[in-house]
Amino acid sequence: MRPPDSVAWTRKHDDRLDPVFIPAGIGLRYYPESLRDLVQIVAGADQAAGVAIRPCGSHWALSDAVAEPGFPGAIVETHGLNRTLYDVIPSCLRTAVRADLVGQSPATDGQWDEGAYNLYHVEAGTRIYELYSRLDRQDPAWPFPTDSLDIPALGGSWAPPTLGGAGGQTIVGAATTSTHGGDLNHPPIADMIQAVHLVGAGGRQFWVERARFSARVPAPMSDAGKLAQVLGPLEIIQDDDALNACLVSVGRLGIIYSVVLKVVRQYGRRQTRHRREWDEVQRELLDPNSPLFSKRFLQVVVNPLPRFKDRRHSCWVSQAVAIPARDPLPASWRGRAQRAGAGAGVNPSIDHKPGDLYTVICRSHADFAEPFAVCLGLLRDLAPAARLVPFVGIRANREIDEIIVELVNLSRADPMSVGDFVANVCNFLVDEGHAWLLPAIMEAFLEFGQGDIPDERPAEDISYAMLDGWDYSDRDCITNADSIEVAFDAGTDLGVRFINESLIPRTNQLVDGKLTGKPMAFGGYASMRFTGRTEALIGIQKWDRTCVIEVAGLRELSGIGPLLDQLESDAKTMGATVHWGQRNQMTRADVDAMYSGIERWRGVLARLSSGGDPQTFSSAYTRAAGLEPP
C-alpha cells in the first residue's frame, strides 16, 4: 500500500484560483489497494480517539459529502480498489438463485430481452467507464465472474441498465449519492446493487444483501455458510432495510469495499433531439399520456433566460429508445472503439469529433498562450453580431464591436482558462450595463451544444457511448461548474411549476439586481430528466416516476452561488428532495421532512456502528444533515 500523506485535497470542480478545499498538512490521505489495507486503515482510525475518516471516489461531488473545507480527519482514496472479483459470484450463490441465473434463454441476435440479467462483483473504486468497458468485454484482463459456469445464456456483452451523463465517477460514489439517468421507468444507478461488502466502525466487516433476491426467487441471493467460508469472519445481514440503507449512504455507514451488480444484456440506443418552445412543452409534460412519455428516455433542457425579441424560452427535447446491439455491431457505431477498451476515460464523447471547435478549445492548456487571438476568435465564432441580431435585434450592431474590444483588453490583462473567460464575459456584460446580451449568448451556446437530431436521421450507438457524454480530453470547458439538482413527484405539476415559479423569475431577478441588491450574471441551463422509484431509504427518486431538475452554470459567474442557494430553498419549500452529491445545504429538518424512511436508515447506522466508535465516519456535513445514529 502506498504510504499515507497529507497532500492538498480538492474536488474535481473546485476553481483553481480559490483557496484549496483542504490545504496540505491538514489531515491524512490513505490509498488502500486491498481489503486488508482498508480494514487496517479503518481499524487504526477507530482506535485514534476523535479522528474521523471519510471515503472518497473520483472527487466529482460538488457538495461537502466527502468532507467539509479544512476537514482535519482522514480521507480514504478508493481508486486503488478497482478490480473485478471472483470469489463470491457464482460460487456463493444460493441454489435457487444459481438455477434462476443459468436457466435463462440464450440471447437471440437482432432481439433484446431486457429481462435477462447477469451478476458482476467489483471493487468500489472502479470508475463507471471501467465498468461498462469490462461488461462489454473490451478489457480482456477482467473476464466475467460467471464465465466459469460456461452457460451460453451468460455469454456475450452486458451493460448497466442506465447511467447518468458521465462515467468518471466511481460506481459506488455515483450510487451512494443518488446519481441517476433519464430512463423513465428505470430506477437510478444505486438499484443495480444487489449486495455490499462494507467495512464499518472498528474495522468490522459486513456483507449486506436483501432478504428476497427477486420476485421469482423470494430468498436471499447468497448462501451464508458459503460466504463465511470464502470471506472469513464477517457479519452477514440479509435484510431489505439494511441494503436499502447502504444504497444511498453518503459514506456515513462505513467504507464500501465491493458491490455485486445486476446488469442487462448489451443494447443500443436511438436518440432524437428537437428545439422547441418551453410554453408548449410544459403543457405536454403535464399530460401523462403525452408522446413525450412514450419512449425509454426523456430529457428537456430549458434556457432560463428569455429571448430578447419575443421573451419566450427555448428548450431542447431529447428522447431515446433501446434497440438490439447486433453482433457484429453496425459499422456506423463508433462508440465501442471511442469509449471502451483503450479509449475508456480518454476520448471526447461521440458527439464531438477530434477536430471540431469545441474539442480543440477544451483540449487547450489551462492558460491561453495568446489570449488576444483566442478570445477574439471565440467571440467571433460563438457570438458575433451577425448571429446575435436574430436574438436581440439591431441594437447589437451598434455596441458589439465596442464590447469585443473591451473584452479582449480584459483577457490581455488577465490570462484565464476558457471556462473562466466565458464566465468573465457574462460578468463583464452585466457590470457594464450590457445584460441584454446574456440571453443571446446563452441561446447561442445551448444551440451549439444541443443541436437538432432529426427523426429521419436519429443518432444511434452502443448504450454506454450514448449515455456517457463526458469529454475526457477536456481540460478547460466542463470542469469549472457548479450546480444543484432537485427532484419532484412527476405525477404532479411541481416540476413545471419549479421552472416557471422559481427558476425563470429568480434568474431574471438575479440579472436585474432584485435578488441580491445588485445585478449579477448567470449563464447556464436547466435539465429535466425522469426516472423510476428507488429502493434506497434516502434516495431522491422516491416517487413512482420522479422528475429531477438540474440547474448548472459556470462557477466563476458572479451570480451562480446566490441563484443556486435561492433555488434550493424554493425547491425545498415546494416539497423537493435534493441530490446528495451536488451543491446543497441540507439540514436535519430538511432530511426528516423529505424521507419517511430516515429513522429506519438511522437504525441501520446504529447497527453497523455497534462495536466501534459511532462517530468514525461522521463529518460536519453528516451532522448538519442528521445522518447520525438515533
SS (H, E, C) 245-308: HHHCCCCCCCEEEEEEEEEEECEEEEEEEEEEEHHHHHHHHCCCCCHHHCCCEEEEEECCCCCC
**What pLDDT, on the 0 to 100 scale, is given for residue 470?**
86
Range of weakest confidence among 77-91, 297-311, 433-447: 433-447
Give Cβ neighbours of residue 85 (< 8 Å, ≥ 6 apart). 121, 122, 123, 145, 258
- How do 297-302 and 314-324 pair as beta strands? antiparallel
Residue 323 confidence (pLDDT) above 50: yes
pLDDT of 129 above 70: yes
Q: For residue 308, what pLDDT is reported? A: 76
Please compute the mean of the pLDDT values over residues 304-320 and round it to a whole number: 92
Predicted confidence (pLDDT) at residue 522 exceeds the cutoff of 50: yes
User: What pLDDT does 577 receive?
Assistant: 98
Amino acid 439: pLDDT: 84
- Asked whether the predicted pLDDT for residue 106 surpasses 80, the reply is yes
Q: What pLDDT score was predicted for residue 436? A: 80
User: What is the pLDDT at residue 392?
Assistant: 36
**Could you tell me the pLDDT band of residue 513, with boundaries at 50, 70 and 90?**
very high
pLDDT of residue 622: 96
Q: Are 473 and 362 in contact (CB under 8 A)?
A: yes
3-state secondary structure of 411: helix
% pLDDT > 70, the chain: 86
> For the segment 133-186, what is each residue's pLDDT rounded down to a tens digit?
999 999 999 999 999 999 999 999 999 999 998 999 999 999 999 999 999 999
The band of 369, judged by pLDDT with boundaries at 50, 70 and 90, is very low
At the top level of CATH, which class does the domain 95-267 belong to?
A: alpha beta
613 pLDDT higher than 90: no
Whether the pLDDT of residue 434 is over 50: the answer is yes
Q: What pLDDT is attached to residue 110?
A: 86
What per-residue confidence (pLDDT) applies to 96?
A: 97
User: Which DSSP symbol is given to 151?
Assistant: -
- 478 has pLDDT over 90: no
Supply the pLDDT for residue 429.
Answer: 82
Residue 427, pLDDT score:
87
The pLDDT value recorded for residue 367 is 41
Q: Over 60: is that where the pLDDT of 403 sits?
A: no
pLDDT value for 331: 94
Q: Dihedral of CA 600/602/606/608: which sign?
A: positive
pLDDT of residue 474: 66
Cβ–Cβ under 8 Å, residues 580 and 178: yes
What's residue 317's pLDDT? 97
pLDDT value, residue 391: 35
Q: Is the dihedral of CA 358, 362, 363, 365 positive or negative?
A: positive
pLDDT by residue (tens digit) across 377-396?
444 444 433 333 333 333 34
* Neighbour tally for 10: CB within 10 Å: 16
In this structure, whether the domain defined by 2-78 belongs to CATH 3.40.50 is answered with: no
**Cβ atoms of 162 and 188 closer than 8 Å:** yes
pLDDT value at 516 more than 80: yes
* Averaged pLDDT of the chain: 88
| Lookup: cell for 370 | 495568446
Say how far apart CA 400 and CA 78 lie, in whole Å.
50
CB 145 within 8 A of CB 120: yes
Please give the DSSP secondary-structure letter assigned to residue 213.
Answer: S
C-alpha distances in Å from residue 346, one per residue of 10, 167, 283? 21, 11, 41
Question: Longest C-alpha distance within the chain, in Å?
Answer: 80
Of the pLDDT bands very low, low, confident and very high (cuts 50, 70, 90), residue 417 is low
Check whether 511 has a pLDDT greater than 80: yes
Position 240 confidence tier, pLDDT thresholds 50, 70, 90: very high
* pLDDT tens string 545-577: 999 999 999 888 999 999 999 999 999 999 999
Mind spelling out the 3-state secondary structure of 371-417?
A: HHHHHHHHHHHHCCHHHHHHHHCCHHHHHHHHHHHHHHHHHHHCCCC
pLDDT at 476: 54
